[in-house]
Amino acid sequence: MTETLALLRSVDSPTVCDAIEVIDGRRGFAAFTRVTPVPSDPRGVIVGQARTARISAAAPPADAPEVIRARRMDYYRHMAEGQGPRVAVVEDIDPQPVGAFWGELNTTVHKGFGLSGALTNGVMRDIGNLAPDFPVIAGHVGPSHAFVHVTEIAVPVTVFGLSVAPGDWVHADCHGALVIPETHLAELPRAIAQLQSTEAIVMEAARAPDFDFARFENAWAAFEAART
């Protein structure tokens, strides 16, 4: 698993999506986001099992302050628990997210808990001062935390059209995110290697100084033969 995780951190989300289809032997994999995100680091890659929650910030919470405080501590306890690579997946339930949950403080805390990054349709702030090597894949950038508060913990969430359950394996980067079927994890190294080797047939031909349509046609035929 260690080598597989290192490989997944070295490739982008499109590669993982394509590799899942290599394993399936067909197109049609659909567990990916549908909206262009705002990444804190265009080069950042997040891999891990989801620790989930929901937040709201547009209006003050209706619950008593002591209830809100207790729920906030329960949230941090949930994020701190668990073994192995983890990623925070937090759904902002406001129709138009306005309050930043992710900034310098929260990224530092979550990184300290051992999480590899955060995926949210909500707001981030403190760009340039977020915890190093803790990517945030967000929906918006904004200046204020507004009335941000945790509403639910350890529940299935939906972020950018992607449904994520607690414990799901998530891969995310500047392109968006996907849920990796757990049954596919062991096969991903082989599938990624096959994908990269077959694509190289066309790309190496295209980079050659004598590339033309005839050479493309031959390379494409070899490419199609190699991936069947």
Annotated binding site for substrate: 125
User: And the tokens for 184?
Assistant: 């596919």
Closest CA to 120 of 65, 171, 52, 205: 52
Annotated binding-site residues for Mg(2+) read 126
Nearest residue to 142 via CA among 96, 98, 90, 174: 98
* Binding-site annotation: residue ranges: 125-126
State phi, psi for 78 to the nearest 5 degrees.
-60, -45
Strand partners, 149: 56
Tell me how far the alpha carbon of residue 32 is from its chain's centroid: 9
Q: Which residue has the tokens 């989930």?
A: 52
